[in-house]
Amino acid sequence: MTHPYFLKVAYAGGGFHGWQIQSVLRSGQGDLWKALQAFDPGAPLPQGTGRTDAGVHARAQGVLIHTARAWEPFRLLMALNAHLRADIRVLAVQPAPEGFFPRQHAVAKRYVYRLGLGPAADPLQAAFRWQVHQAVPLDLDLMAVAASPLVGTHDFTSFRCSECGAATPVRTIHDIRIVPLEGGAELVFEGTSFLMHQVRIMAGTLVEVGRGRRPVNALDGVLRSRDRRCAGQTAPPEGLCLEKIWYEAHWGVGEPSPWGEREGL
């Protein structure tokens, strides 16, 4: 008999080659497994919710682990963090219900893409932003208008990379917001799930609109083309962070999704 626990894990992605375990390269999943095995050698591989790419950050990666004995949650959190490097941390632990699987039971995610918009990169923020250099300020209002055709359920073939192995390119985006900040901006994407590089390609395409290199009404045509060549550049990974995940409410893991649950639940 093993004991399941749900973890909220944060990591600065610059030191990792993604979440998913690698044979040689460092990964979030690999680091967490090593930490767990340090005091529970037979523990199975931790299971995460989102497969963040190399260089992408996470503030709320949801992870399921199984331990050989029961733990008080805070003591388990402290034990794991004692064996982790400073750029990855377990932020919260709770017992997980039997039958809960984070990847299968997630209903929505929030990704935030952060831009630096000053004349020079802020050295305290540079590892977590894409610094957009240009003489004319980025037009955030145009970007917000341009993003509207992406909201809803669509075939997002134009916004996924060629290596994406998803069975279908159809995804639902609930909301896209452009939030101005001092010295930068946040592009907030909330949806059921996302294709490989989808958020980074959408961010790169929206920045082209903000720079005046693409008309404000262009994204509807890009979406309908179902052709990756019609979309913009893939924004660099350092600006992207997995900020929040919502799960099916009946599991009691986290707060309920503001958009309800999938059909049939």
Checking if the pLDDT of 63 tops 50, the result is: yes
Identify the helix (H) or strand (E) that includes residue 198: helix 198-210
Q: What is the pLDDT of residues 235-245, one digit of tens each?
A: 999 999 999 99
Catalytic residues: 53
- Yes or no: say if 209 and 217 are a contact pair by the CB < 8 Å rule: no
Residue range 109-124: mean pLDDT, rounded: 94
From residue 84, how far is each of 38, 95, 132, 182, 220 by CA, in Å?
A: 10, 21, 33, 33, 45
Q: Which fold has domain 3-96?
A: Alpha-Beta Plaits (3.30.70)
For the chain, the domains span: 3-96, 105-244
Q: What is the pLDDT of residue 262?
A: 64
Checking if the pLDDT of 65 tops 50, the result is: yes
pLDDT over 90, % of the chain: 91
In a 10 Å sphere around its CB, with 0-12 CB exposed, 13-18 middle and 19+ buried, how is residue 232 labelled? Answer: buried
CATH class in words for 105-244: alpha beta
